[in-house]
């Protein structure tokens, strides 16, 4: 008999992902990501400036000042996306993320999608949408399972 107070694996990992997002230093959107394999967290990431670089919370947001719409002109941002940070952290520490699951508070953009595909991640669970239909098309073409958390069944874990 299962305990209704005990979260499913997907709920557990998404709760952690939401907590990771709280470390974000982006003024516009706080995003968190974790990479999981065999029910073990391999890496975490949140959006913010690279190590040793001033954060947007310290120097302001160029994209906001230029009124750049969400999902456009990523090169004008000093921050790294949460998914990118999670992949980079795994690489930095020599952790293979092949065949892993990515939990993310937002659907990854097309730039992150390319990295996710080449890193060998096989499944993505996310909470909110993102205005980048190209990423969904690339995930489908690459055979990566994408599930919006809370929409599909949450019975199975990674």
User: Is residue 158 predicted with pLDDT exceeding 60?
Assistant: no
What is the rounded CA–CA span in Å between residue 31 and residue 21? Answer: 5
Put the strands of the sheet holding 123-128 in their side by side order: 40-46, 32-37, 101-106, 123-128, 145-148
81 is in an annotated binding site: yes
112 is in an annotated binding site: yes
User: Is residue 71 predicted with pLDDT exceeding 80?
Assistant: no
| Tens-digit pLDDT profile for residues 30-63 | 999 999 999 999 999 999 999 999 888 888 888 8
User: Is residue 156 predicted with pLDDT exceeding 50?
Assistant: no
| Tens-digit pLDDT profile for residues 81-138 | 999 999 999 999 999 999 999 999 999 999 999 999 999 999 999 999 776 789 999 9
- Among 11, 83, 141, 156, the one annotated catalytic: 83
Specify the CATH architecture of the domain 9-148. Answer: 3-Layer(aba) Sandwich (3.40)
> Which two tokens mark 70?
């969400």
pTM as predicted: 0.88
What are the structural domain ranges in the chain? 9-148
Q: Does 11 participate in catalysis according to the annotation? A: no
Handedness of CA 6, 4, 38, 24 (dihedral sign): negative
């Amino acid at each position: 008999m299962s305990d209704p107070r005990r979260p499913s694996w997907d709920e557990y990992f998404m709760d952690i992902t939401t907590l990771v997002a709280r470390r974000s230093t982006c003024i516009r959107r706080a995003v968190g990501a974790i990479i999981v394999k065999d029910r073990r967290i391999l890496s975490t990431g949140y959006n913010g400036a690279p190590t040793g670089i001033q954060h947007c919370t310290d120097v302001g947001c160029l994209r906001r000042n230029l009124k750049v719409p969400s999902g456009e002109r990523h090169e004008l941002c000093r921050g790294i996306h949460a998914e990118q940070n999670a992949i980079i952290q795994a690489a930095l520490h020599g952790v293979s993320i092949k065949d892993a699951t990515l939990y993310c508070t937002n659907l990854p953009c097309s730039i992150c999608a390319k990295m996710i595909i080449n890193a060998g991640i096989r499944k993505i669970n996310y909470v909110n949408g993102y205005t980048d239909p190209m990423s969904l098309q690339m995930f489908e073409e690459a055979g990566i399972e994408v599930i919006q958390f809370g929409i599909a069944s949450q019975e199975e874990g990674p």
